Amino acid sequence: MATNTPDVRSQFTALRMKAPPVYLDCAATAQTPDAVIDAMDEYYRTYCANVHRGMHGLTERATLAYEEARKTVASFVGAMYTSEIIFTKNCTEAINLVARTWAEEHLQKGDTVVLSLLEHHSNIVPWQQLATRKGVHVEWIPVDKEGKIQTGEIDAILQRATVKLVCVTGLSNVTGSRPDIASMTKKAHDAGALILVDAAQLAVHHKVDVQEIDCDFLTFSGHKLYGPTGIGVLYAKRDLLRNMPPFLGGGMMIQDVTMEGFTPAESPARFEAGTPPIAQAIGLKAAIEWLSGYSWEEMEAHEQTLMTACMRVLQRMDGVSVIGPHSATERSGCISFTVDGVHPHDLTDLLGQEGIALRAGHHCAQPLHKHLGVPATSRVSFGIYNTEEEIDLLEKGMKKALDILKI
């Protein structure tokens, strides 16, 4: 299906309103198409039941839908086995699952976890907590003035440290830069380390194939992928999952329980204690199926058109400094910027009053902002439904806001 923006927008209730928002905050969460809402509504209205429990028709239908969602996600990322897909409540929990299971078991005092300065706090704090608990070292891959990873530094770190795990974003939620994950994976594996990819931003802007990049762990969330909130995904290689202890204890994650102890179930049940996010999984499946109706090539081309137009607007405004690569072709998803003498919160607040939705702050990436010498930025981020007309409205809104703020 061709990426026809009016046709795409017509599938979002929020964008069909009489005065729809100029929604440029997709990196925080995307709008949800009707197909996703309808799929979840059908579950709640017609076959609401718990999964894997009971023999009646409703639970069998719910279980089938839930497990079909797992198959859809496995196909979406190129997983070899459906058992390699674990449903979590968000991307953050998926990363924490790895930190609290695989890393807890396999990393010892003196071992090193490598992070890039591009990371979201979700891919920083769990490893800092691990360092506190176990005496693990955290090393940082620096970035240049455009916020791009300095790949030469990776080799130096891998040579001098006992690196067991490299954690890197697939796409920065601040600079929009996209590290060469396949290259970093090879470097990590050659050094005897594993790699975890935070694909929260990557999965919605570029096709992900875990076989091609050969990552060991990959995480993402549903709500950035036009799906519902309350669901995330962990992909992990099957052999790793077999040797990872359970993350949480309770129902469904066990094979057997006695008064003396328990035997955990195999993956994926081992890591999905309690009632899982059934409706959310069904919604995520619908989101992936909806998104799969469009070609990645056309979506990427549409996004580059928006990126180029927005970069031109920002770069010709006095006092505006774009954070990250200055070429639109070197970034995806978002553009963060500052304005001399204007706090990002003030600018974003005034734009919000005009119905233009941006994000302001450190975007859960304080180390990166500190490294770049800015406490906060304003961020524009795009989705499949955004238009060039909205970039024009952003330009008009910014001129109006800056006239007020610079008085």
What's the pLDDT tens digit per position in 92-138?
Answer: 999 999 999 999 999 999 999 999 999 999 999 999 999 999 999 99
The more confident residue out of 238 and 150 is: 238
Q: Residue 54: its pLDDT value, please?
A: 80
What's the pLDDT tens digit per position in 273-295?
Answer: 999 999 999 999 999 999 999 99
The pTM of the whole model exceeds 0.75: yes
Statement: residue 351 has pLDDT above 60: yes
- Joined together, the tokens standing for residue 52 give 């894997």
User: Where along the chain do the CATH 3.90.1150.10 domains lie?
Assistant: 5-29+295-405
Q: What is the average per-residue pLDDT within 60-82?
A: 98
Statement: residue 407 has pLDDT above 90: no
Fold of 37-291: Aspartate Aminotransferase; domain 2 (3.40.640)
Based on its alpha-carbon atoms, the radius of gyration of the chain, rounded to whole angstroms, reads 22
What's the pLDDT tens digit per position in 6-52?
Answer: 899 999 999 999 888 999 999 999 999 999 999 999 999 999 999 99
Torsion, Cα 46 67 267 191, to 10 degrees, reads -130
**Residue 383 burial (CB < 10 Å; 0-12/13-18/19+)?**
buried
Statement: residue 262 has pLDDT above 80: yes
Q: Residue 19: its pLDDT value, please?
A: 85
Q: Residue 370: its pLDDT value, please?
A: 96
Rounded mean pLDDT of the chain? 95
- Joined together, the tokens standing for residue 123 give 């891919």
How large a percentage of the chain has pLDDT more than 70? 99
Helix (H), strand (E) at residue 141: strand 137-141
Active site residue 215: no
Contacts for 379 with CB less than 8 Å, ≥ 6 apart: 25, 27, 173, 174, 334, 335, 336, 337, 358, 359, 360, 363
Q: Residue 327: its pLDDT value, please?
A: 87
Contacts for 324 with CB less than 8 Å, ≥ 6 apart: 146, 147, 148, 172, 174, 175, 176, 177, 331, 335, 336
- Joined together, the tokens standing for residue 344 give 């990002």
Cβ pair 111, 139 in contact under 8 A: no
Alpha helices in 206-340 (DSSP H): 210-213, 238-242, 278-291, 296-315
What's the pLDDT tens digit per position in 200-253?
Answer: 999 999 999 999 999 999 999 999 999 999 999 999 999 999 999 999 999 998
With cut-offs at 50, 70 and 90, classify the pLDDT of residue 160: confident
- Joined together, the tokens standing for residue 38 give 């309808």
Q: Residue 329: its pLDDT value, please?
A: 87
Q: Which of 26, 215, 310, 364 is catalytic?
A: 364
Q: Residue 150: its pLDDT value, please?
A: 81
User: Where along the chain do the CATH 3.40.640.10 domains lie?
Assistant: 37-291
Q: Residue 2: its pLDDT value, please?
A: 53
Least confident of 71-85, 229-243, 251-265: 251-265
Statement: residue 152 has pLDDT above 90: no
With cut-offs at 50, 70 and 90, classify the pLDDT of residue 153: confident
Statement: residue 266 has pLDDT above 90: yes
β-partners of residue 300 are none
What's the pLDDT tens digit per position in 308-325?
Answer: 999 999 999 999 999 999
CATH number assigned to the domain covering 5-29+295-405: 3.90.1150.10
